Chains A and B, each alone.
Chain A
Amino acid sequence: MNINLRVWRQANANAQGKMVSYRVEGVSEDMSFLEMLDLLNEDLTVKGEEPVAFDHDCREGICGMCGVVINGAAHGRAASPVPTTTCQLHMRSFADNATIDVEPWRAGGFPVIKDLVVDRSAFDRIIQAGGFVSINAGSAVDANAMPVNKREADRAFDAATCIGCGACVAACPNGSAMLFTSAKITHLAMLPQGQPERMLRVKNMVGQHDAEGFGGCTNIGECAAVCPKQIPLDTIGQLNRDLIASLFSQDGK
């Protein structure tokens, strides 16, 4: 199959960007979207042009490194029958001779580095503000000594599947990173080792989220719709409950 691409090209954070058209020929429907971009880049390199910069790593949907907006939807969610990362979107989801728009994540908190690559280090800083357990949890306890009921264990696990790709931010009209932040909050809030720092964590992480310039949540739900790991919207409810509770604890602990 052949594909007509319109790709966002931007030399660096300060440069003016624009959409540039390319035709990619000889695309196989078994290719992933990124393999199709590889094909374009090989072609551009042979011609002596600079290839399109895009982030990627594991190419099996688990690392969170890849992510572009495809035809207006983060990770091409609109083209895919199932929730997906860009690397797991395959060209069989597109028609022959389709025209596909490819853009970077667009959000105040994610400045463009080059072409389709954005700086997501704001996520690192939100995690560094509290997305961890620093107390000494001791050695492993005997089995069944500290029961965690199935519902909460599952909820913690589901939230922990967040890969930090940033699709939630790209999809949100407010450029909010609430789904990402709440996934981390929920993950640790459901487990015993997350309790000692629970109130301090939510304050610090939400504070860092706001300081990074991400917008507030107005319950639109686009984030959960594009999330490749199907993080549920109710994790944001959990974050809000914990945040309100933290206002009534003196030392934030």
Chain B
Amino acid sequence: MHPRHEMLELIVIDGRARGIVTRNMVTGEIESWVADAVVLATGGYGNVFFLSTNAMGCNVTAGWRAHRKGAYFANPCYTQIHPTCIPVHGTTQSKLTLMSESLRNDGRIWVPKNAEDCAKDPRDIPEEARDYYLERIYPSFGNLVPRDIASRQAKNMCDEGRGVGPEVEEVNHRTGETQLRRRGVYLDFAEAIQRLGKKAVEAKYGNLFDMYAQITGENPYETPMRIYPAVHYTMGGVWVDYDLMTTIPGLYCAGEANFSDHGANRLGASALMQGLSDGYFVLPNTINDYLSKGAMPKVEADHPAVVEAVNSVKERINHLISIKGSRTVDSFHKELGNIMWEYCGMERDEEGLKYAIAEIRKLREEFWRDVKVTGVNEDFNQTLERAGRVADFLELGELMCIDALHRRESCGGHFRAESQTEDGEALRHDDEFLYVGAWEFGGDGGQPILHKEPLEYEAIELKQRSYK
């Protein structure tokens, strides 16, 4: 085991993946590791949004380094936004904790009918002044509508000014104006407690209620929980074939890091399924097949491609440290996150995405001119670790917006404002977009190149879903 090591580059020799370059996060040592095959099992990139349910260390660096070396990156804009999370309470928040989706089995989601009631104690708002909006709009599924719908409707309610909880300052990037918005909806267990009894609710959800109480300081047995959607999972990732091999022979990618299995909208628990099936059943067979095709030429640590990969890592680190600018890494990360959330989040449109791409380019230019990385490489240096990851997020973010811009349809987890039905529901365009969008790296400053992998449905018929 090599804990506290981070992959910073992929070694490609004669078109095959032949190893990686890592940084020892305690000593700063840059090491190369040669191999006959490489597996990336490096997780998702939800942290491009800064605030998400992901752990703080999650990043795209391994996948992105592979992408820059030739691996296609597929459906980058496919992000799952989970409806049942702790709301944003302020600008210093680092994390949006996920409350389990199971809470929607018994909890009822509502906001006040009138915006004037939003600051009131929810227990003082009478039944007739509450809008159980999911039950109203989707009578047959109610509070159990899929995640993307529950998320978007929560956003719609708050955009209408009927959100609850503390007012959070939001900056409108287009106008530069700040506004105060409440970003939360109620998830109410009063009816469930009455129906099942407090004991039964405690047995079912006690640990979640405790967690909520600990984070917010409010008792959910007495007052409704407040929830709001948060970035949870990235369906996009490094493109792989059925053997989980990327477009670089010998480079495999498993789990959330790859793009496969989930389409445009992951279903509950299927991320665990993917981790298990990729690791237990697929890779142990497909890698053997690859290796059985004959011995690879031996690679020494002084091979020019290895030396080049090691040197490029060192140069990049030295560059980051030598900038000695005035802005912290986190300030760039938060600004990027705001852009992504606002324009490439739950709802996207052409104007916003074009604006976001321009803003991200500006931000990336500023990052490489003005970022402040304290300390040296040859040390335990968390600022340097984060700087390298944010630099990659700044490139990925642009690709996500480019992907979102070209896909002019609403499908699965993403909603394109220009593509909706008369009653405001998602409208797919299967005639135009029935494909996986796999992007090839177009060089620094160049345009990424789109490759389309058609989706062919043989056993099932494509349908427009309805939850009304």
Give the B-binding residues of A (Cβ under 8 A).
12, 28-32, 34-35, 38-39, 42, 45-46, 48-51, 53, 56-61, 63, 65, 82, 84, 88, 90, 92, 113-114, 117, 119, 121, 124, 128
Contacts and interface: CB of A to CB of B under 8 A. Distances in A.
Interface stretch (B65-73, B208-216, B312-320): B208-216
B286 interface: no
A58 B53 CA distance: 8
Nearest to B328: A45
Nearest to A59: B95
Given A60-B95, A113-B26, A114-B380, A42 B330 contact: yes
Interface in B368-410: 372, 374-375, 379-380, 382-383
B276 interface: no
B382 A53 contact: yes
B89 interface: yes
A57 B55 contact: yes
Nearest to B373: A45
B92 A35 contact: yes
Nearest to B329: A45
Interface string B120-161: 000000000000000000000000000000000000000000
Contacts of A30: 89-90, 93, 216-217
A21 to B, nearest CB: 20
B436 interface: no
Contacts of A45: 328-329, 372, 374, 383
Given A90-B217, A92-B217, A63 B55 contact: yes
Contact of A58 (B55, B214, B374, B375): B55
- Tell me what chain A mostly uses at the interface: helix, strand, loop, or mixed: loop
- Tell me what chain B mostly uses at the interface: helix, strand, loop, or mixed: loop
Given A88-B215, A114-B379, A38 B210 contact: no
Nearest to B94: A35
22 contacts: A12-B380, A30-B93, A30-B217, A31-B90, A31-B93, A32-B95, A35-B93, A45-B383, A48-B372, A51-B382, A57-B57, A59-B56, A59-B95, A60-B95, A60-B98, A82-B210, A82-B214, A88-B211, A113-B26, A113-B380, A114-B379, A128-B1
Contact of A46 (B1, B211, B328): B328
B454 interface: no
Nearest to B213: A82
A184 to B, nearest CB: 16
Nearest to A89: B214
Contacts of A12: 379-380
B3 interface: yes
A227 to B, nearest CB: 15
A114 to B, nearest CB: 4
